[in-house]
Amino acid sequence: MKDDKHLTEEVFDGNEITGLQGQFKTWFLDYASYVILERAVPAIEDGLKPVQRRILHAMKEMDDGRFNKVANIIGQSMQYHPHGDASIGDALVNLGQKDLLIETQGNWGDVRTGDDAAAARYIEARLSKFALEVAFNAKTTEWQLSYDGRKNEPITLPMKFPLLLAQGADGIAVGLSTKILPHNFIELIEASIKYLRGKKFELFPDFQTGGMIDVTDYNQGKRGGKVKVRSHIEELDKKTLLIKSVPYGVTTEQMIESIVKANDQGKIKIRKVTDNTAADVEIQVDLAPGISPDITIDALYKFTSCETSISPNACVIVDQKPQFLSVQELLKISADNTKELLKRELEIKLAELNEKWHYTSLEKIFFEEKIYKELEKKHENWDKVIAAIDKAFVPFKKQLKRDISREDILKLTEKPVRRIYRLDIDELNAQIKGLEADIKQVKHDLNNLTDFAVAYFENLLKKFGKGRERRTEIRQFEVIEARNVIIANTKLYADRSGGFVGTGLKKEEFLFECSELDDIIVITRRGIMKVIKVSDKTFVGKDILHVAVFQKNDERTTYNMIYVDGKTGISYAKRFNVTGVTRDKVYDLTKGDDKSKVHYLTVNPNGETEVVKITLSPNSSARIKELEFYFEELAIKGRSSMGNQVTKYPIKSVKFKEAGRATLSGRKLWFDDKFGRLSAEEKGQYLGMFEPDDRILVIYTDGYYEITDQEMTQKLDAEKVLLIERFDPEKVITAVYVDKKLLQFNVKRFKIETSTLKNKFLFIKEGEGNYVECAATTAEPVLLVQSGKGSQIRSAKFKLAKMTDVMGWKAVGAKLTDYNKSVVMEWVEHEKPTSQQELF
């Protein structure tokens, strides 16, 4: 008996595996190769996994134009697929749900809700017309024996379409996986045409479930890339949200579970969630009282399955090996493969036409030259008859394209011999002429193969493109910070004398509600400042003066402070901001002595100042024991600054006397029209300098106006925003809108009379298709109106302030001009009209 060393070292003995290590090496490799090649990863030639290919081949064998029971299709497929009926049934349902190659009948389930298909005996299927056109051609198919050697099955189907990119693919093998996202049918055909024409093209995923997709990091579908997918969420009213789609790979049931979980964890606040999905997805989310719908929408994207991230990984089988490619490379390979298949089909067709032309020409000569009479002569034997006919063709062989074979003559002798009429010869001539025209066309197509392939794709688009428009909207998503949208539902407490802050100090002073993601800033009487995470209990220092949620990079919140330096006894005043700090680091806001103490501290969100009354110690040698101090005289400096000297005498108390003015200028605001957000970071349209109480006017193209505040978390419908600016209640709004019922442009001028914030009010005539063409708040608006085309363009300028009186915001307005799609309007500066313009 061999020892263990010999057992592991000896791997092969002829064809027999004798070592355990050798068995693991070869068996595992065989198994991995089998799973990769035969089960999980699609082939590049037709974009199909073996089970899918065998199902389609079985359905082609059964195809008679009628629907077949899925149970029967599974049975037929089992002749080719060496696995159980469950795997075939699942693959068949998956193909049917993609609505491309297979027409379905019955309950096939729903990828949006996760509902399963009915049992195989209850549902039916047949190949679609599209599948019959692009996936099958026995003459160009390469065949192999099935697993039991009884039948032939295709190695790959002759697929003349980028099916892999249209359907997508998902598979997990041994040590390998593939994830190819589905793409749009029409865009794939258009990209194929562009590639064949030598033009550049781009491809991005498109999902049956709709929704939105951010393809910024798609990386052409290669490893390392990713896409973000979102649901469409609509605000029905201030208390209700409607989720109108689900992200790819997420079901309505999974989404509802994720929303309930986020609510249970305190990340969002809702009253209830209801699934109203029928023909279209609709999940209704009822909000808790006082909860902002804009913040909740962002929170749904951040904390639930309303937004998911998908990492594509385009792996396919090329020459019996897995390869990682981009979607552009897959499209190019597919287009080249289609072109090659079309070439082979044309070559086969040309050979068949030539063969038919050859035989028809033989037949014509056979009858026209009366060669058939050789059959009536008394030859010694049949071979002599064949030889005589062959000899009779000798004078005409130059008219033919190839030699005459014995088979050709035998085929001619099988035709019934009767009296030949001129009409018979004319019919043969017509057939030959038609064949020659067909041969000429096929040769032309072969010589212009690119044009032929382009025409083929254009025909596919014409026949099958209707109703296959893009469903998933491509847009860039803004980055949502969790701390900005998480609901503040964690109660924070403080033991001021003991110096503790935390959520677990429920017997101490309640401070405020915050979220578990917030940072907390704390300042003590000693002048120590720390920024800490929300926790159960944290020691920050005794005699706590100030506790608040810390906002990083906040350059407006200003701290006004008076403190005494413990070493010298001199008191100083300072104003400072706290923008960026290191969490849990101790910062000393005084000169650093342990006996230093803060006399006075206020926190001002917009740099407000105050006047304070300072009372000195009665034992001090100061002549004047009371004085006033004005913080507005101090400049705002860094938190480590010493400050300005207030007094060298001991201070008994510092008390607030009166509020001062804000020393900070208003903040600059922009409207980021990409995401529909207000911004202080110079993104988008500049709105101006805003004071804290300023409001914003928004006018939408659908005829609504809204007065809103400067809250950065609110989201405006950027696609509908026509005008946005600082709200001035004294300004007159001039608007021109379309009345589709009367087919005219109306003009109206009005002032805002409502005061409710964040409520939309319809200020144009209600009616289907009505919309605002333009709006302005200038005192003397002049509108340029152009209509017509080419040399027939007519333009006019209207001084609308003189044409129309100011009316109520609900008024219909007055007619300006007739409605016409070619009319173009724009605001202009008042100027004298040219010879082609009229000024009204």
80 is catalytic: no
What share of residues in the chain are helix, strand, coil (percent, to 5)? 30, 30, 40
Which string of DSSP letters, residue by residue, matches 252-299? HHHHHHHHHHHHHTTSS-EEEEEE--SSS--EEEEEPTT--HHHHHHH
- Long-range (24+ apart) CB contacts under 8 A made by 475-478 are 475/212, 475/213, 475/214, 476/214, 476/216, 476/674, 476/675, 477/212, 477/214, 477/228, 477/230, 477/301, 477/307, 478/674, 478/675, 478/677
Distance CA 135, CA 53 (A): 10
In the DSSP assignment, the letter for residue 38 is I
Give the burial string for 751-768 (b: 16+ CB within 10 Å, else e): ebeeeeeeebeebbbeee
Q: Which amino acid is at 798?
A: F
70-77 vs 50-62: helix axis angle to the nearest 10?
Answer: 110
**To which residue do tokens 């964890």 refer?**
265
Distance CA 668, CA 689 (A): 4
Distance CA 47, CA 318 (A): 11
Give, for 760, the enclosing helix (H) or strand (E).
strand 760-762
With CA atoms as reference, report the closest residue to 678 among 686, 172, 566.
686
In sequence order, the 6+-apart residues with CB closer than 8 A to the CB of 437 are: none
Q: Which is the catalytic residue, given 31, 34, 122, 686?
A: 122
Distance CA 629, CA 608 (A): 14
Distance from chain centroid for Cα 508: 49
Distance CA 230, CA 306 (A): 6
Taking a C-beta distance cutoff of 8 angstroms, is the pair 348, 139 a contact?
yes
106 in the Ramachandran plot: left (φ > 0), alpha (ψ -120 to 50) or beta? left
Name the pairing type of β-strands 824-828 and 814-818.
unpaired
Distance CA 15, CA 626 (A): 107
Token pair of 283, please? 């999940």
Distance CA 130, CA 102 (A): 9
Q: Catalytic amino acids?
A: 122
